[in-house]
Amino acid sequence: MSYPTVPSYQAYATGASQLPNDHPVLAFTNSHQEAMDSGELKTKPYTWYHTSDFVFTKTDGTVLPPGEASWKGWLEGYAPFTEHFHETRYATIYQRDGAWEMVGFANVYANLLVPGVKTKEDGKGRKWDVVVPGALFFTVVEDPEGPKGFKFKKMTLFGDGVPVVTEMIKRGMVKPEDLLK
């Protein structure tokens, strides 16, 4: 049985290694990840890395309105953290309908606003408060005004926030009854 296929680029990383920059879209997404982890991305207009009609879909399936509302929704997920680090493990990139799509898997390590015992270790041996394994689905478009000639048009996040919320409850950052509001 034959079926239609499209070429894709795949990259893997283990331990302390990061995904390579040998594909232009991966070089762009890696630079976004570095700007996010350093905090630089949070100080600039969202349109630096994202189209003006950028759309973010949360882990619960909520599709936020395009533009700034989606950007604020993306940042909201990082609000409980003093710092974070994305350790990307896998990505596949392919072209479809004039855009690039990427599926990636990563561990997001973070420290919470309320200090506690750091028990999660990243591939570089650094200790963190929490780790969230997750997946992302990106749509990237060519844009000469974007870093490396690209911008994000869509991001969909797949992750389990329960470990973060559990640790936040333990540290008194949130009460269990607040989760039911």
Q: Each residue of 87-128: pLDDT tens digit?
A: 999 999 999 999 999 999 999 999 999 999 999 999 999 999
Distance CA(139)–CA(64), nearest Å, equals: 15
Averaged confidence pLDDT in the chain: 94
What CATH number corresponds to the domain at position 128? 3.10.450.50
**Number of domain units in the chain:** 1
Sequence-distant contacts of 119-122: CB under 8 A, at least 24 apart = 122/85, 122/87
Report yes or no on 1 lying in a domain: no
Report yes or no on 63 lying in a domain: yes
Report yes or no on 102 lying in a domain: yes
- For the beta carbon of residue 179, count every other beta carbon within 10 angstroms: 10
How many angstroms from the chain centroid is the CA of residue 13? 16
- For the beta carbon of residue 174, count every other beta carbon within 10 angstroms: 15
What's the pLDDT score for residue 169? 95
Report yes or no on 2 lying in a domain: no
Report yes or no on 3 lying in a domain: no
What's the pLDDT score for residue 1? 85
Q: What parts of the chain have a pLDDT lower than 50?
A: none
- Residue tagged 């004039």 (tokens): 98
Report yes or no on 165 lying in a domain: yes
Report yes or no on 89 lying in a domain: yes
| Domain around 56 | 8-180
pTM of the model: 0.92
What's the pLDDT score for residue 80? 95
Bridge partners of 103? Answer: 92, 137
Report yes or no on 164 lying in a domain: yes
